[in-house]
Every structure is written in structure tokens, then in C-alpha cells.
Amino acid sequence: MSRDKIPVWEKLNLTIEEASAYSGIGICTLQKMARQPGCPFVLYVGAKKMIKRKNLEKYLEETKEISAESGQ
């Protein structure tokens, strides 16, 4: 099965673009959030940032507000 044919909700790790579409959070905001030290849902694969889907879901369940300026 091609990686592109796996539904986003079944993938363990998402690209920033996939995470944006999945969560409804803008790409720039997600990038800012992922740059924060100790971000619980970012995974670096070499120089590429991936988003751990389940960790992002948990983070969003526990977070009450995300600011576009700070990324949190």
C-alpha cells in the first residue's frame, strides 16, 4: 500500500501540511508550536519535522487556547 493512500487518521506521524489539514490549525502556527522547546508532538527525522498525531491530539485535548503570535 502506498504511503499516500493511508488515511491521515491512521498514520502515526504527519507532515506539517497533513497535521494542519487534520487539526484545522494553520501551517505557520503549527511550525511555531513545533519550534518551542520541549514540544510534545514534534519528531525530527533528520532535518524534517514530523508531527506525532496521537501526541498532537492529546496536546489539543489538554490545551484551552493557541495564540498565533507565540504558537501556543
Q: By the 8 A CB rule, do 54 and 35 touch?
A: no
Task: Give the chain's domain count.
Answer: 1
2 vs 54: CA distance, rounded Å? 21
Specify the pLDDT at position 65. Answer: 82
**pLDDT higher for 35 or 66?**
35
- Enter the C-alpha cell of residue 59: 496536546
Q: Which domain holds residue 31?
A: 3-62
Give residue 16's pLDDT band: very low, low, confident or very high (50, 70, 90): very high
User: Residues for the chain: how many in total?
Assistant: 72
- Enter the C-alpha cell of residue 32: 511555531
* pLDDT score of 5 more than 90: no
Kindly state whether residue 71 falls inside one of the protein's structural domains: no
Q: Could you tell me which residues come within 8 angstroms of residue 12 by beta carbon, excluding any fewer than 6 positions away?
A: 52, 53, 54
Region of 71 on the Ramachandran plot (φ > 0 left; ψ -120 to 50 alpha; else beta) = left
The pLDDT tens digits for 21-59 are 999 999 999 999 999 999 999 999 999 999 999 999 999
Kindly state whether residue 70 falls inside one of the protein's structural domains: no
Kindly state whether residue 49 falls inside one of the protein's structural domains: yes
Kindly state whether residue 68 falls inside one of the protein's structural domains: no
